[in-house]
Amino acid sequence: MKVVMLGLPATGKTSFGVALFGGLSNHAIDEMELLKVHDPVHVLNEGLKHLARREPVLRSDHEGVETISLTVALADGSEHSLFIPDRSGESLRGTIKTRAWHVELLAELREADAMMIFLDPDGLGVGGSAEEVAELLEGKDDEGDGEESEDNSGEGEEETAHKWTAGMMPTDVRMVDALQEIRDATHGEPCPIAVVVSAWDSVTGFTPSEWLAARVPLLRQFLEADKNGYSYRAFGVSAQGVKFKQDEVVSDPDEPDPWDRAWAVDGAGERVSLAEPLIWLLGSSG
Amino acid sequence: MHPARAGSGRITPHTTRTEADPEGRDLLHLEVESPNTHLLFADLPGESFRAIRDNEISPDQVSYLAQADKVAILVDGALLSDLGERSFAINTTRQLIERLSDGSVSFANAHVCLVLTKLDELQAAGDSAVRYWDEREADILAAVQGICAGSACLRTAARGKTDEDGMEVLMDWLVEPPPEVPEPALPAQAEPPARMLRLRAPKGLSQ
């Protein structure tokens, strides 16, 4: 199964891959057994070293791709090949910004059996609500035919108008834009999508499904709409397990191994295996 | 090896990292018990084994591994004593064993064992550090036994002070004769084929 991890920069794609690989290599995931590694794993092992030191896993290579290529067995005994390119989020951001496909990303999407969309709750770009826009439009109407008013903001504050750019789009608008472009470019059947909300340890008061509805409503509506044909599931993943402090030094003698520290929940907030997004995709991709 | 000896004049011993010898002198020949006990140590750079672990090369690409009578898989006790590094030591050891199990090299005729090094540094880090290894040793040893049944874990300290440095046990393991390699059985035939007859030693050389 070929899985594309889709997400803007620093949305947790690499951290997820590293934590998953660590869990599989160290037999910490009961639901999935690692049978064979096909590609070099130096970058993944270096990532595990960072997680062990409570340092975030950072990508330094914005252009390259590290591929996670594994053969795994599930609890039912079935064996599967997983091919998961971990491409920098710059490729997606550049595609959205320039309105021109990153050639290699497009090739991967055309061959994909499934997708994982990564969202970072801490770095989310949130747009104004529909009500706010309505109020704004209404207010402008009151000022008379959309003409700018003379200093009606009060207290001498000035708002500077900026020309709109694609970079100003809220995260869910960007992701819907990307999905529409993918649908047009691939001409294929919509593949199943695991929506992964990363850094889930930093989210409180929501299940992943509730979080999608509250924080990225447009993306959720797009995925829910029958005519788009997507099947999707939401997951919350904490690859680090906890939020690391700046320059943190590990001092707890009972510090868990990084693959034991990572955790995940399903859409309803129930604890699941870190491999569950992939297990669901394997069962849904036909 | 000179910086590790008293004759080097150093206050503390130092073992330099092994680098590939440009002239290919990568075997250390020791006669440890006379007569006739010769040990040939393949002193290969750790980079080779990192490359195996990271799946960059296959075990059969490392010199001497396929011919080895003794294979010691080392776990660095100093790394295990560091809270931020210990999981890396565990992870890399498990992965190295996993890659060595890929079948490209057969260890059927070799003795393989797990060797915990720098036990003194691990013990100096406290009970929790030793407990960390204790809780993982059996699982890792089981993986080694998947390569070579009957493998054991030897805890050693090449320098420093430990109640039992494990070096005697390690030496016993090293000089223990490797498993006998059985001669392949000839097919039971009244007249062996001509090709096989040609491979037999000439009469003049047999004893």
More confident position, B132 or A163: B132
How many structural domains is chain B composed of?
A: 1
> What is the SS3 string spanning chain A?
CEEEEECCCCCCHHHHHHHHHHHHHCCCCCCEEEEEECCCCHHHHHHHHHHHCCCCCCCCCCCCEEEEEEEEEECCCCEEEEEEEEECCHHHHHHHHHCCCCHHHHHHHHHCCEEEEEECHHHCCCCCCHHHHHHHHHHHHHHHCCCCCCCCCCCCCCCCCCCCCHHHCCHHHHHHHHHHHHHHHHCCCCCCEEEEECCHHHCCCCCHHHHHHHHCHHHHHHHHCHHHCCCEEEEEEECCCCCCCCCCCCCCCCCCCHHHHCEEECCCCCEECCCHHHHHHHHHCC
Q: Which of B57, B148, B136 is nearest to B94 (CA)?
A: B136
Task: Give the C-alpha separation, B75 to B81, whole Å.
Answer: 11
Q: What is the pLDDT of residues B40-92, one digit of tens each?
A: 888 788 888 999 999 999 999 988 888 899 999 999 999 999 999 999 999 99
Query: Which residues share a beta bridge with A79?
Result: A73
Query: Which residues share a beta bridge with A87?
Result: A65
Res B20: pLDDT: 60
More confident position, A64 or A101: A101
Res A153: pLDDT: 45
Q: Is B119 domain-assigned?
A: yes
Contact yes or no for B94/B130 (Cβ under 8 A): no
Taking domain A3-126+164-284, whether its CATH number is 3.40.50.300 is answered by yes
CA distances to A114, A179, A231 from A227, rounded to whole Å, are: 18, 13, 11
Over residues A22-34, the mean pLDDT reads: 95
Task: Give the C-alpha separation, A47 to A58, whole Å.
Answer: 8
Among A31-35, A200-204, B146-150, which is the least confidently predicted range?
B146-150
Q: Which residues contact B149 (CB under 8 A, 6 or more apart)?
A: none
pLDDT band at A278 (very low <50, low <70, confident <90, very high): very high
CA distances to A17, A40, B13, B58 from B96, rounded to whole Å, are: 20, 13, 29, 11
Which amino acid appears at position A173 of this protein? V
* Helix A13-25 and helix A42-52, axial crossing angle in degrees, nearest 10: 90
- A-chain CB neighbours of B53 within 8 Å are 45
Q: Is B69 domain-assigned?
A: yes
Fill in the DSSP letter of residue B17.
Answer: P
* Helix B86-100 and helix A42-52, axial crossing angle in degrees, nearest 10: 150
In the block, tokens 């699941």 appear at A272
Task: Give the C-alpha separation, A87 to A84, whole Å.
Answer: 9
The CA distance from B126 to the nearest CA of chain A, in Å, is 10
Q: Is B127 domain-assigned?
A: yes
Contact yes or no for A229/A182 (Cβ under 8 A): no
Q: Is B204 domain-assigned?
A: no
Among A30-39, A224-233, B4-13, B44-53, which is the least confidently predicted range?
B4-13
* Single pTM value for the model: 0.82
Over residues A74-103, the mean pLDDT reads: 85
Res A228: pLDDT: 72
Res A152: pLDDT: 46
- B-chain CB neighbours of A21 within 8 Å are none
Cβ-nearest to A40 among B56, B98, B139: B56
- Helix (H) or strand (E) holding B136, with range, is helix B127-147
Query: Which residues share a beta bridge with A240?
Result: none
Cβ-nearest to B85 among A39, A40, A52: A52
Interface of B with A (CB under 8 A): 53-56, 83-88, 90-92, 94-95, 98-99, 102, 126, 128-129, 139
Contact B83 A255 (CB under 8 A): yes
**Residue range of the domain that includes B40:** 28-183
Among A73-77, A162-166, B63-67, which is the least confidently predicted range?
A162-166
Q: Does A255 touch chain B (CB under 8 A)?
A: yes
Res A221: pLDDT: 93
Q: Give the torsion sign (CA, A122, A128, A131, A136).
A: positive
> CB count, 10 Å around CB of B22?
6
Q: Does A69 touch chain B (CB under 8 A)?
A: no
Q: Is B22 domain-assigned?
A: no
Q: Is B9 domain-assigned?
A: no
pLDDT band at A192 (very low <50, low <70, confident <90, very high): very high
Q: Is B73 helix (H, G, I), strand (E, B) or coil?
A: strand
Task: Give the C-alpha separation, A168 to A163, whole Å.
Answer: 10
Q: Is B134 domain-assigned?
A: yes
Q: Mark the ranges of chain B whose per-residue pLDDT is less than 50.
A: 1, 192-207
Over residues A40-58, the mean pLDDT reads: 92
* CATH number, residue B159: 3.40.50.300
On average, the pLDDT of chain A sits at 85
Q: Is B41 domain-assigned?
A: yes
